[in-house]
Structure 1
Amino acid sequence: MITHVCFDADDTLWEEGKFFIAAEFVLADVLAKYAPNEDIADILLGVERANVPTLGYGVKSYTLSLIEAALKISDYQISAEEIARVMDAGRAILRHPMEMPEGLVDVLTSLRKSYKLVVITKGDLVDQNHKLDRSNLREYFDEIHVVIEKDAPKYTEIFDGFDVAPEQCLMIGNSMKSDVVPAIDAGGWGVYLPHTVTWQLESADEPVDAPKYRRLKHISELPALLAELNKTPV
């Protein structure tokens, strides 16, 4: 029986990816005289991929990658004023409005009566905690984990901390790589909640043959799924 329901944060509990895309539009505008948009996007992705192992995830790491990409693409010809525009675009992500899926609060209110609710997210510790406070969602969760990486060993560590069997834990999120596949590999359930924006570095093959894999269209479907898995009334 599932007892612990774990949620990704960005683009699961609230909108996030579209604000990164807005910053990339600013970068493309600043660098338009140096390179075409598709080259800018490819170079930025390469810079991000190279920086993640040392800088981690989150807005601060991303902003440094924006600046590094701007310097590289412009061959260090970019002006201080243009660098400031790029930096401001990254900083703006920290102040974005909190937009949550329709019905999310109703889902959390219902589920917390029967389950332990947990947030498991990557990103900057300060920023993720600020978003939990700005969204007014913190009160719905029993535990919050902001981690360096979401892989099978980390899920095993977190599930063990619940003092329940891993099959009693379910993780839901928009990333196959970070939310679904490693949770299943750790012995739990992985529920994929697709989002219109998902970072390319978060892609992985869909584990369609895994017995503990499920896919939903909207967060509002989660209570019914849990009832089905636990064979209890909604």
Structure 2
Amino acid sequence: MARITTIALDANDTLWQNEQYFRLTEQRFADLLRDYTDAPDLNDRLIASVSRDLQHYGFGAKGYTLSMIETALKVTDHRVPGSVIAEILAAGRELLSYPVQTLPYVDAALEQVHRTHRLILVTKGDLFDQERKLAASGLADYFAAIEIVSDKSPKTYARIFAQHTEGPEHTVMVGNSLRSDILPALAAGAFAIYVPHDLTWSYERAEEPRDQPRYARIEHLGTLAETIENLQTP
């Protein structure tokens, strides 16, 4: 196999916590609507709205906030008062200000692998919010390039690998989403390392690739360097 010279890393729930704040906001949303709807599937309807609206609003807190407002209007037949809409907007703004908490092993892993490999960040979501979190994380200096994209597809990865690496055959993508980080990177010809996160959003789940020599799964980034070396062994 070709030698891996570039490591591409996802950000949300790979380098730092993200989904846990959305779960807290889901609960706040349910609490705000408790007096205005008895819909037993409120959370499911919210998630369905978020997934459906991705094509319009993209990923991130701002699109999520718009989907919360849309769901609140639908489940209450537009009876939800303006004061509750204001509280939903406040909850959305709070999503943009939560502290950045890096995951275990992240700092040590990046310190180790950046000495031997070129690192690039490949993340999707709101540009302003992702830039804020990267700056607050203290990790920016590890990365030779930063790509904040609207979605992750084989075409997106092919462009990024062509621009920032020696080619997909020399690149490994590392992330917690099978749907966004692993499968499309493999389809673009790269290696891929899956790092599961307990709270990965259902939209990002998929079947793990079977019998794929360019794929590996690890439990945390503490074994990243060793896993990359093993992937390169014929």
Moved more, 192-201 or 28-37: 28-37
Provide the residue aligned with 2:95 in structure 1: 93
2:141 corresponds to which of 123, 131, 139: 139
Provide the residue aligned with 1:162 in structure 2: 164
Contact 2:214 2:231 in 1 (8 A): no
- Change in Cα spacing, 1:36 to 1:202, as seen in structure 2 (3 Å) is farther
| Equivalenced residues, count | 231
**Structure 1 letter corresponding to 2:213:** P
Show CA shifts across 1:53-79 (max 9, x none): 111111111111111111111111111
Show CA shifts across 1:149-190 (max 9, x none): 101011111111135231211001111110000000000011
Distance 1:230 1:36 in 2: 55
- TM-score between both structures, scaled by the size of structure 1: 0.95
In the alignment, is residue 151 of structure 1 matched against residue 153 of structure 2? yes
1:213 corresponds to which of 208, 212, 215: 215
Q: Secondary structure, in 3 states, of the residue corresponding to 2:52?
A: helix
Show CA shifts across 1:23-58 (max 9, x none): 100111112234457511111112112211111111
Distance 2:70 2:174 in 1: 33
**Structure 1 letter corresponding to 2:185:** A
Provide the residue aligned with 1:175 in structure 2: 177
Provide the residue aligned with 1:20 in structure 2: 22
Provide the residue aligned with 1:84 in structure 2: 86
- Change in Cα spacing, 1:176 to 1:85, as seen in structure 2 (3 Å) is same
Provide the residue aligned with 1:226 in structure 2: 228
Q: Secondary structure, in 3 states, of the residue corresponding to 1:9?
A: coil
Query: Percent sequence identity over matched residues?
Result: 37
What value does the CA root-mean-square deviation take over the aligned residues?
Answer: 1.3
Provide the residue aligned with 1:124 in structure 2: 126
Moved more, 141-150 or 42-51: 42-51
- Change in Cα spacing, 1:65 to 1:15, as seen in structure 2 (3 Å) is same
Contact 1:31 1:73 in 2 (8 A): no
Contact 1:28 1:37 in 2 (8 A): no
